[in-house]
Amino acid sequence: MTHALNRREVLSAMGFGAAALAVSSVDMAAVPRSSGIKPISGSWFEFQHHATVEGVDWNPACARFSAQQWDAKIKEIAEAGLEYLVLMATAVYYRAFYETAIYPKWELGCPDPLEVVLSAADKYGVKFFIGCGFYGDWESDQIITDSVGEKKRLQSLEEIAKRYGHHPSFYGWYWPDEADIHPYYSPEFIRYVNLNSRLARQLKPESKIMIAPYGTRNVHPDDAYVRQLDAMDLDIIAYQDEVGVRKSKVSETSAFYEGLRKAHDRSQKSKIWADVEIFEFEGEVYKSALIPASFDRVVRQLEAVSPWVDQILVYQYLGMMNAPGTAAFAGSAASRNLYTDYRTWLGARR
């Protein structure tokens, strides 16, 4: 906590000129430049990070954001070349981010952040997946089977589709109660997916549906796994590379995704995307602040998964990347470095 406070004190003291001097001097000559490396095409997104200790560097700023700042953040993300955003949740800690009888509403600087970001996405050409969580205890394994939470979750789908479904940027749905593939999906998770998807198809038939499971290193991409892919009503599975949470090394991930690509090619039911973790923990995993990873590590993560996936999303732009001089700053000082290094690398490819 002390380190996180120090970072925020530095941020408040730095003007744009000082921030520009803080941009990292990563050696681009040492970074892979292969045209085969896919750029970042999207990111997860949130109004408040569900794990409070992890989001200490951006949760307070996001809670204060005005409608104008949320608009500026969506514009900034679009200008960085990202096409997709995945809203993690419409509720967390038994409070909602929109007006509903399900839970009391979060008290934020922006009264209706979901309306604001979708309106901004309409303007700037961004496609949103809307996450139907967290209706219950997000840390509990029972969240997908709890009958009370299930009723609330399905109610939220109907309300959100009715209230926000007119936005062109409302591209799809995301089921955020993550699966642990070990080495297969549980029957309970498959039921959770198909129950949500059945209602979602009725509400917005044209929408795309995505999940982002973990346990990527544990998957057995065999006949049984292909049958599970066939059994789930999904359009996209974005597998977590789990580098940020220290479960996998960059040198290992290409092999994991190669096997998964073969399984998806056999099934032909859902597309395979990547969920690349561009963060690291300041201290102990899951018990300390998330901070931006080095650009050198991030670009090698992109390189590892690129041959095997259709799109690369990251977890996550918000908090880990900020354009210098942005009117909507949320994160640590190092987030400017990761943004600038990525944009420099991306520009050199054109």
Q: What is the CATH number of the domain that holds 66?
A: 3.20.20.80
Q: What average pLDDT does the structure give for the chain?
A: 91
Instruction: With a cut of 50, say whether residue 22 has pLDDT above it.
Output: no
In the chain, % of residues over pLDDT 90: 87
Q: What is the pLDDT of residue 16?
A: 36
Q: Looking at the domain assignment, is residue 90 inside a domain?
A: yes
Q: Looking at the domain assignment, is residue 21 inside a domain?
A: no
Q: Looking at the domain assignment, is residue 43 inside a domain?
A: yes
193 versus 9: the higher-pLDDT residue is 193
Q: What is the pLDDT of residue 141?
A: 83
Instruction: With a cut of 90, say whether residue 139 has pLDDT above it.
Output: no
Instruction: With a cut of 60, say whether residue 14 has pLDDT above it.
Output: no
Q: Looking at the domain assignment, is residue 12 inside a domain?
A: no
Parent domain of 138: 36-348
Q: What is the pLDDT of residue 26?
A: 58
Report pLDDT digits (tens) over 169-215: 999 999 999 899 999 999 999 999 999 999 999 999 999 999 999 99
CA distance 222 to 210: 21
Q: What is the pLDDT of residue 31?
A: 53
pLDDT mean over 148-172? 98
Q: Looking at the domain assignment, is residue 18 inside a domain?
A: no
Q: What is the pLDDT of residue 32?
A: 56
Instruction: With a cut of 80, say whether residue 121 has pLDDT above it.
Output: yes
Report pLDDT digits (tens) over 144-153: 999 999 999 9
Using CA atoms, how far residue 16 sits from 56, 166, 231, 260, 345, in Å, is: 22, 38, 52, 44, 22
Instruction: With a cut of 50, say whether residue 129 has pLDDT above it.
Output: yes
Q: What are phi and psi of 105, to 5 degrees?
A: -90, 145
pTM above 0.85, yes or no: yes
Q: What is the pLDDT of residue 83?
A: 98
Least Cα distance to 157 among 177, 176, 133, 138 occurs for: 133
21 versus 144: the higher-pLDDT residue is 144
338 versus 142: the higher-pLDDT residue is 338
pLDDT mean over 151-177? 98
Report pLDDT digits (tens) over 74-91: 999 999 999 999 999 999
Query: pLDDT confidence of 229, banded at 50, 70, 90?
Result: very high
Number of domains in the chain: 1
Q: Looking at the domain assignment, is residue 9 inside a domain?
A: no
Q: Looking at the domain assignment, is residue 240 inside a domain?
A: yes
Q: Looking at the domain assignment, is residue 7 inside a domain?
A: no
Instruction: With a cut of 50, say whether residue 1 has pLDDT above it.
Output: no
Query: pLDDT confidence of 3, banded at 50, 70, 90?
Result: very low
